[in-house]
A and B are shown apart, each in its own frame.
Chain A
């Protein structure tokens, strides 16, 4: 049950705001820039100050269902809440400094290290790939569901490299894989985004399947709204998380 919702939701928000540079030979940079281009382009992404995503989720074959709502605002603020039938709420977020999680199962905790870095990296709506990954490499070609793909390895400043597959024909992201690190351990996970639909000039995945260990989680996005009037305290730390953060400051 303790899976990283951060990584799953991050796939839904994946994009970037860099301009496409004309290239004759594909490079990792040009492939990532092409993804930005085909999903809306730099100008369309630049218009987004905040975003709210709502959807439903299902643990495939396990009879477990839930809902997901994700709020993101620049530069690095996020709040996500997942409600799972029979479990209750699992919340996580960041105010730009403290990354946290709080669940009915385990209570509040503060995220450190690679976990924290992943939350901050994925916090803004459609974070620019150049800001997320100082190192990107073209790792060859592959076939995903019968589609010829470029395979890229993206290494963040802190954390393990991620692998992403982009359809050579459409430029769209069709699969990603990463090691999700949390206090329980390091969990290999795969994400398959699909069902791209236009929202405010952006082409966004409306379906993501996550596979990790023995679980398959399907997220279906029901709505994405941009530049919404959000409450001023949307990204504030919950009181019990704030108490934990204060305790850490004490010598």
Chain B
């Protein structure tokens, strides 16, 4: 099974209208096909493309592309072409994403986060002040149906298709969260199995997600948040949802680390964090490393290798550091966690990450769609690629529906226990 297309920074898909194309649209689409093909040929860090016969791919797919009747078909063929590379961070972003009249109207949220645990869609957190909270949803509730459709068949198909892939958990999560999301102001009709085993059907308004809307180039905009708090026992916790909006997130991270300088330990929660600006990982790691010339890893472009060098910050924090990850932690999250693990600076808790860590850029195609492509391979400081492998936690801890229903987070609990054990040493 070749690796599927992966959109590490998107958690939604926009359906393209199935309408026939004008001659001008056809021309622009064809230009887009050629641009994608040529860019991969000329910019992929491996001139051999891992052995893929790229001219043969063009010869096979361009005639089909020329005959495509709709934009959706065109996109599907382009995605097929990129899929032949068998790597993440090669994707096509529907141009609709950049052209919404009301930016952000498509990413309405009920405030529910979810994961697939033991084959079931389960609510893992409910945001304060959200429509989900107001409706009475609790962590641990199982999601049975969304919009009147059973979730189980889709989850089974995905689980089977991705059974050997490191991205399995990520794709399963997206299958649930993308169905929960929708146009702001619309209603999400969800059937749950609550903690008492009762079926509950609720309608929740999709509202503007928490955080500040931020964008970078042609990366589709996202709402960005960072939170920090002290846990019982003098342990700091920092969580943020994406490596974006550095002006605010880096400042918030700095403020949090400085406020935790007297803490017995710091936990950085990157569960569900799909990545973002790679350079932020170097800046954040700098708060925990005193020595110069330490690196998280190296990216290998076609032209030259580039080291992800940590920039030591003052005042640096030298106490126990735990990084929490799961199968939805991807890209820059993996670079950060994997690098700190390889440097022996952090202990990693949770489950294996997505294995989708290739530095990439976004461009616009002539037809208005976005095109993401990887520009480099990435090898963590320990000498191993993260792509296709992920970061293996030092301590594997899984969420369970039972724990969530009890209001517990076993991953945080394990990290806190470890920090307390370090204090006793």
Chain A residues with CB under 8 Å of chain B are: 1-2, 59, 61-64, 85-89, 103-107, 109, 183-188, 213-214, 240, 243-244, 247
Instruction: Pick the contact of B286: A59, A107, A184, A185 (CB < 8 A).
Output: A107
A107 near B303: Cβ-Cβ < 8 Å: no
A86 near B282: Cβ-Cβ < 8 Å: no
A107 near B283: Cβ-Cβ < 8 Å: yes
Chain B: residues with Cβ within 8 Å of the partner, total of 37
Q: Measured between alpha carbons, how far is A104 from B284 in the docked complex, in Å?
A: 11
| Smallest CB-CB A-B distances: 10 pairs | A86-B216, A88-B247, A106-B283, A63-B217, A63-B218, A64-B217, A183-B309, A105-B279, A106-B311, A104-B246
Contact residues of B between 301 and 331, Cβ < 8 Å to A: 301, 303-309, 311, 313-314
Contact residues of B between 155 and 210, Cβ < 8 Å to A: none
A61 near B246: Cβ-Cβ < 8 Å: no
Using Cβ atoms and an 8 Å threshold, which residues of chain A touch B279? 1-2, 105-106
Q: Measured between C-beta atoms, what is the minimum distance from A226 to chain B in Å? A: 32
Counting CB contacts under 8 A, is B214 at the interface? yes
Using Cβ atoms and an 8 Å threshold, which residues of chain A touch B283? 103, 105-107
Task: Kindly name the residue among A64, A85, A184 whose own CB sees the greatest number of chain B CB atoms within 10 A.
Answer: A184
Counting CB contacts under 8 A, is B215 at the interface? yes
Contact residues of B between 254 and 287, Cβ < 8 Å to A: 254, 277-280, 282-283, 286
Using Cβ atoms and an 8 Å threshold, which residues of chain B touch A107? 250, 254, 283, 286, 311, 313
Q: Measured between alpha carbons, how far is A190 from B215 in the docked complex, in Å?
A: 28
CB-CB under 8 A for A109 and B250, given A62-B217, A213-B375: no
B363 near A61: Cβ-Cβ < 8 Å: yes
Pick 14 A–B contacts, CB within 8 A, sort by A.
A62-B217, A62-B363, A86-B214, A86-B245, A87-B216, A105-B283, A107-B254, A107-B283, A183-B307, A183-B311, A186-B304, A187-B304, A213-B304, A214-B43
Contact with A along B349-390 (1 / 0, CB 8 A): 000000000000111100000000001000000000000000
A87 near B364: Cβ-Cβ < 8 Å: no
Chain B residues with CB under 8 Å of chain A are: 43, 214-218, 244-247, 250-251, 254, 277-280, 282-283, 286, 293, 301, 303-309, 311, 313-314, 361-364, 375
Nearest A residue to B360, CB-CB: A214
Instruction: Pick the contact of B314: A1, A188, A214, A240 (CB < 8 A).
Output: A240
Q: Measured between alpha carbons, how far is A33 from B305 in the docked complex, in Å?
A: 37
Q: Measured between C-beta atoms, what is the minimum distance from B95 to chain A in Å? A: 13
Q: Measured between C-beta atoms, what is the minimum distance from B413 to chain A in Å? A: 32
B311 near A86: Cβ-Cβ < 8 Å: no
Using Cβ atoms and an 8 Å threshold, which residues of chain A touch B311? 106-107, 109, 183
Using Cβ atoms and an 8 Å threshold, which residues of chain B touch A240? 314
Instruction: Pick the contact of A62: B214, B218, B246 (CB < 8 A).
Output: B218
Q: Measured between alpha carbons, how far is A104 from B283 in the docked complex, in Å?
A: 9
Q: Measured between alpha carbons, how far is A86 from B215 in the docked complex, in Å?
A: 6
A188 near B247: Cβ-Cβ < 8 Å: no
Q: Measured between alpha carbons, how far is A205 from B222 in the docked complex, in Å?
A: 38
B304 near A64: Cβ-Cβ < 8 Å: no
Q: A62-B362, A64-B216, A87-B247 are in contact. List 10 more A-B contacts (CB 8 A).
A: A86-B216, A105-B280, A106-B286, A107-B254, A183-B311, A184-B308, A185-B306, A187-B303, A187-B304, A214-B301
Using Cβ atoms and an 8 Å threshold, which residues of chain A touch B364? 61, 63
A104 near B250: Cβ-Cβ < 8 Å: yes
Q: Measured between C-beta atoms, what is the minimum distance from B317 to chain A in Å? A: 14
A213 near B303: Cβ-Cβ < 8 Å: yes
Q: Measured between C-beta atoms, what is the minimum distance from A145 to chain B in Å? A: 21
